[in-house]
Amino acid sequence: MMQMQIGLLPLKMEGQRLLLVDQRKLPGGLEYFDATSFEDLCFAITAMVVRGAPSIGVSAAFGLALEAKRQATMASPSDFMAKMTESARILNATRPTAVNLRWGIDRIMNGLSTALKNSTLESENVLAAKAAFADAEQILDEHIQSNKAIGEFGNQLLPSDCNVITHCNAGSLAACGWGTALGVIRSAHFAGKNISVFVDETRPRNQGANLTMWELTEDKIPATLVCDNMSGHIMLHKKVDCIIVGADRIALNGDTANKIGTYNLAVLANYHHIPFYVAAPLSTFDPGISDGSMIPIEERDENEVIFQSGQSITVPGARAYNPAFDVTPASLISAIISDRGVLRAPYSESISLALADKFGLIEIK
């Protein structure tokens, strides 16, 4: 079996600078956005320079660790933590749906508060900030590992000849390294299976057309771009073996939030008796919510719908509605492919088991 070469990572550190792949510019050009300052990081998440739930979480962790370094010499440990708590609150408000954002922030903040428990010396802030940076690097490595585990578990579900539909971009740019939904597709392809992919363009921001097609083409995995409204026709007239999508937040009962249009795909897949798989790391599960009705759905600017490449596609003064995500009920999900294994219904049981067991990460050679 071919060795897994991870794809382009969504971020890199250059000295003390946090550089993000500007995903708005792909596939036209590979540019890096300097998100070293706290304000630039918050802008980069809101404006979707970096996007995709796991990559948002990892970028937030690095950004908050850099902020800790900046603030470390400025105050006593208690003032420092008060400042960091405020920064964490601002960062967490940049986008509401992807729970990985809060997950990444909590990991760093828990590390800081543990390190500074009962501390009074300013010098300890510096040590805590250093540890926070090591945490961020650990989080990135964990996601690279978890991507690979998801790929391996998901590959076992796919037949040797397999036509897949995927939605949005859940690849190395969105998930750090190998991808979640695209990680499954990559693992199957590089395991020698005959995989071909129908890629939803994913209006209004076209993550499928811009990013997923780019990643699959880079890996020479056969892919066909389709409009989001073609899924039903494709399922009726073409051989589709399964649907694989990513996730932004998974509730304890399995209800899953993902890019708008995912719910449509799930309903169609069930009507056509086609397996519908969700692929996601444990950092995307939200143990704090029991079902999907509690997932906040981001509504973005109407102009993302009205304008394409700067051109209006409608009449002057038109209004648009732009929910960025929808929720697929657990009843429509055939399996959730996680980094702890393939979870099946009843999800309240399998998810609780997986969350309880999350520490034993599998190392895929």
Residues making contact with ligand MRU (CB under 6 A): 51-54, 98, 168, 170, 174-175, 180, 207, 246-248, 258-259, 324
The SS3 of residue 233 is helix
- The CB-nearest residue to ligand MRU is 246
Residue 15 is given by DSSP the state T
DSSP notation for 85-150: HHHHHHHHTS-SS-HHHHHHHHHHHHHHHHHTTT---HHHHHHHHHHHHHHHHHHHHHHHHHHHHH
Minimum distance from residue 266 beta carbon to ligand MRU (Å) = 13
| DSSP strand pairing (311-312 vs 307-308) | antiparallel
Among all residues, which ones are annotated catalytic? 248
Minimum distance from residue 201 beta carbon to ligand MRU (Å) = 13
Residue closer to ligand MRU by CB (options 168, 195) is: 168
Minimum distance from residue 272 beta carbon to ligand MRU (Å) = 22
Q: Which residues of 229-238 are buried (b: 16+ CB within 10 A; e: fewer)?
A: eebeebbeee
185 with 308: CB under 8 angstroms? Answer: no
Minimum distance from residue 259 beta carbon to ligand MRU (Å) = 3
Residue closer to ligand MRU by CB (options 65, 280) is: 280
Sorted by sequence, the CB contacts under 8 Å of residue 114 that are 6+ apart come out as: none
CA dist 362 and 74 (Å) reads 40
Minimum distance from residue 46 beta carbon to ligand MRU (Å) = 11
CA dist 173 and 164 (Å) reads 20
Tokens of 276: 């519908």
Residue closer to ligand MRU by CB (options 51, 203) is: 51
Residue closer to ligand MRU by CB (options 257, 274) is: 257
Q: Is 136 left (phi over 0), alpha (psi -120 to 50) or beta?
A: alpha
Residue closer to ligand MRU by CB (options 135, 248) is: 248
